[in-house]
């Protein structure tokens, strides 16, 4: 396993789910995704503490490896998660989606 996951649907942009791995793993996923045929957009999705990693990965990919990469859209939100064991109310977790496109 490579430490990152790319989900490809027929007409949808490629999606990279960001988790606990180092940012460079996700930078490699972005670069690899754009190497595919007819790829115009790659989206990094993260929630909670992984948001920092997603932002770092997007910025590293843009500034160090792919100078023609643009951030086309950033979407932030909140997801309601079920309570953990011992808790009695739902928790809110922040989310982010960063869409990257090539010029």
CATH number of the domain where residue 57 is located: 3.30.110.20
Rounded to an integer, what is the distance from CA 98 to the centroid of its chain?
A: 6
Contacts of 49 (CB under 8 A, 6+ apart): none
Residue 44 lies in a domain: yes
Residue 78 CA to residue 43 CA, distance in Å, equals: 17
Give the residue carrying structure tokens 């190497």: 35
Work out the percent of the chain whose per-residue pLDDT is above 90.
Answer: 74
Q: The domain containing residue 55 runs over which residues? A: 6-102
Residue 1 lies in a domain: no
Residue 79 lies in a domain: yes
Residue 103 CA to residue 91 CA, distance in Å, equals: 39
Give strand ranges (E) for 1-103: 6-7, 14-17, 41-47, 69-81, 91-102
Residue 77 CA to residue 96 CA, distance in Å, equals: 6
Q: Is the pLDDT of residue 3 over 90?
A: no
Q: Which residue has the higher pLDDT, 41 or 37?
A: 41
pTM: predicted TM-score of the whole model, two decimal places: 0.84
């Amino acid at each position: 396993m490579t430490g990152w996951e790319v989900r490809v649907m027929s007409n949808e942009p490629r999606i990279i789910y960001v988790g606990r791995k180092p940012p460079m793993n996700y930078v490699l996923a972005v670069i690899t995704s754009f190497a595919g045929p007819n790829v115009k957009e790659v989206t990094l999705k993260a929630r909670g503490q992984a948001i920092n990693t997603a932002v770092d990965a997007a910025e590293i990919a843009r500034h160090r490896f792919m100078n023609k990469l643009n951030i086309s859209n950033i979407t932030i939100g909140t997801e309601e998660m079920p309570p953990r064991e011992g808790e009695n109310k739902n928790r809110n977790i922040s989310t982010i989606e960063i869409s990257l496109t090539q010029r």
